[in-house]
Every structure is written in C-alpha cells, then in structure tokens.
Amino acid sequence: MSESDRILVSQDNGIKRITINDPEALNAVDRPMAIRFAELVQEAATDESRVVIITGAGNAFCSGANVKKMRSDDGGYSDVAEFLQRITNPAIRALREMPKPVIARVPGVATGVGCNYALACDIRIASTKARFGQVFSRIGLVPDGGSSYVLPRMVGYAQAFELMVTGEVFGAEKALQLGLVNRVVAPEELDSVVDEIAGKLAAGPALAFAGIKRNLNFGETHSLAETLDQEAIEQKLCMQSHDFKEGTTAFLEKRPARFEGR
C-alpha cells in the first residue's frame, strides 16, 4: 500500500471524509500517516466543505500510534515533544477550531491518540462494537492529543484520572454513559446514521454553526460575562448574513430554508 493510500480523502455534496486506512494494524498511525492526517485536517478547515467526517477503514477507528514503528524508527521517538507540537497538536486544534461541524464515525477501537482524535470532533457516533481507552499508561506514557484538557471537561477530574491511570478499554455503552459519544448504533446502521446527520448539517446555516463552535470554545476558558459578550458579537454577524434573511423568510413562508453559508 502506497503512503497516499493510507489516509484516504473524498468530498461529495459538501461533505469531506477523511479515512485512516490501515485496517490490518487497526488503523494505528505512524509518523507519515500522522503528518498526512494533520495536513488534511488543516486543509479541511479552510476548503469549501461544510461538514467533515473522520473515520477509519474496516472495523476500527484508530488504535493510536503504531508502537512497532515507534520502536523501529528511532528507538522510541527521542524528539516526541517536537513532533507532538509540530504535527499532532495542530491537527487536534484544527479539529476543535475549524468553523464547521466535525463528525467522528467510530466503527471499532479508538484508543490512544485515536481516542483523542475522536474526542476532538464535535459529534461522535459509535457502533456497538466501538471501544475506547486512554491506554498510554500501559506502555509508560502520559496521554497526549489534548485529552488532559478535553476529557476532564467531559467526565470530571476523578473519572478522567481513573481512565488515564488504569488505561481501561471500555465499550460504547460506557462511553455513552460517560457522555463521550452522542449516539450508539448497530454496526449495520452506522453509515446511514452518520450520513443522515452529515447531510442535515451540510444543508444547515454554516455561519451559525461556525459561531456556535467559536462560542463553545470561548466559553470553556472565559467567564460568563465574557461569554455573553462573545455571543452578542456572533449574533450580530449572523443577523447580518444572507442565511438569517433566508431563515426568517422561510419561517414566515412555512417552507424549508435554503441556506447558502453567507
């Protein structure tokens, strides 16, 4: 398999799909794959797509970093901090900050940095066969990929700490109970559910969606008063848009709105 085939990308009807494609290795990523993934995610932030789907080929999402390649490349990634800061971290930030919805389609295992790719997305739809885990401590590492920021905000400090120190791998139902995924569906329903959600989002008010993401990200690190001001700024921008005019007109005419993202 060529390097270009190990991360697949397609775009149709405003929906971009980025697929990690090494199913024999449960879509574990090595350095070239991580670099290409980061490039594609950052490109998606500014291209014409309206929704992005992140997924893995076969029956896995991403089982984390390819440990075999880590050992064979340089005896343990001596420059890991530089690589994380230059490659992994920008990819995580791009997923969190891009002004459009990002859906994680999780058919199976999502562990290590693969779990944190999924947690960086806006919506996570998991198969009943999905499994999640912060497995870094199992090989003597600390979690990276932004999980120290994201996970405790989702489940609280105590749960995050326990999941990280134990390295527990848990199923989709527990992930749903913890609030880590939006929905759990049968494997045969995964594509139809993801495609339905993506289609609705692609037809929605893109400017409002971008504002919603900015407001939520802002609110995580600012006071209520500051967040109220931020919401007012975003609301003004939306009310000046064509989408707002179309939305109100469609409401009054009792018809579906035709949003254009402007």
Rounded Cα distance between 151 and 155, Å, is 6
Express each pLDDT in 231-255 by its tens digit. 999 999 999 999 999 999 999 999 8
Handedness of CA 235, 118, 132, 165 (dihedral sign): negative
pLDDT-derived band at 68 (thresholds 50, 70, 90) equals confident
| Residue-level pLDDT at 79 | 83
- Please tell me whether residues 155 and 214 are part of one structural domain: no
Among residues 197, 172, 193, 195, the alpha carbon closest in space to that of 109 is found at 172
pLDDT of 52 higher than 80:
yes
Among residues 123, 148, 134, the alpha carbon closest in space to that of 63 is found at 134
Say what the pTM is: 0.93
Total count of domains within the chain: 2
| Residue-level pLDDT at 131 | 98
Which residue, of 162, 180, 202, is where some domain finishes? 202
pLDDT of 77 higher than 70:
no
Express each pLDDT in 188-232 by its tens digit. 999 999 999 999 999 999 999 999 999 999 999 999 999 999 999
- Cα 260 from chain centroid (whole Å): 24
In a domain, 46, yes or no: yes
- Please tell me whether residues 46 and 109 are part of one structural domain: yes
Domain interval for residue 138 = 3-202
- Please tell me whether residues 101 and 150 are part of one structural domain: yes
Express each pLDDT in 19-41 by its tens digit. 999 999 999 999 999 999 999 99
Kindly state the percentage of the chain with pLDDT values over 70: 95
